Amino acid sequence: MKTTTLLYAIILFFLSCKKSSTNPPLEEPYPHQLIFTADASADKYVHLELAGNNMKRSEILITYSLAQLTLDRYCEFNVAESTTEFTNEKCYTIQFERQRKRWLFAGNSSNGQEVHLGTTMTSSETADPGGDGYKFFIHEMPKVNGVRTVAIESVEKPGYYISTSPPGFNYSPTQATLTQHTSPQSATHWQCRSAQ
């Protein structure tokens, strides 16, 4: 009897130690409606928002109502589970909550020297335009003051993460970029906030 109990305990131990994925899924249920912010100063956030067909980084006071912000600016995103084009790994698409036909992508800048965050308008609210440029790995990071925090990596451009860093001098200083990092830990950590 002791041998059987010990065997069960060993099996349960090994099952509980199963290796976790490098890209853990977001919490259920899907999709999530999120505003991505990062601390800019003691009293301001940087957040991502639509700027024509591009994405920009804007600042707001921490005291600004997030519900009002989603009415004032296109900054709330619908994040849905997907799979990569060739390897079928779990990843995510990001589209605008108020413009579901507009999808985020990581692409080369016009001079080919940087990676910028852009958007594409399509005819579909349910299918992204296609290709891994429209897909992202979301890496869970430690919470900040109880707020879920993530690093967002391009599937098509591994090692490039959505960043708070400015672009080169010949682009708008607020253009949203992706910067190269060796790990999610060294990339920008975005706080996942809700307008609710």
Q: Indicate the pTM of the whole model.
A: 0.85
Averaged over 48-53, what is the pLDDT? 91
Contact between 76 and 195 under an 8 Å Cβ cutoff? The reply is yes
* Tally of structural domains, the chain: 1
pLDDT tens column, 52-89: 888 999 999 999 999 999 999 999 999 999 999 999 99
Averaged over 153-161, what is the pLDDT? 98
Is the four-CA dihedral 28, 100, 77, 69 of positive or negative sign? negative
pLDDT (0 to 100) of residue 27: 56
pLDDT (0 to 100) of residue 12: 43
Distance CA 97, CA 117 (A): 17
pLDDT (0 to 100) of residue 53: 83
CATH classification at residue 99: 2.80.10.50
pLDDT tens column, 126-138: 999 999 999 999 9
Q: What is the mean pLDDT of the chain?
A: 88
pLDDT (0 to 100) of residue 23: 53
pLDDT (0 to 100) of residue 17: 44
Question: Residue 10 sits in which domain range?
Answer: 2-193
Torsion of CA 87, 149, 45, 57, to 10 degrees: 0
Share of the chain above pLDDT 70, in %: 85
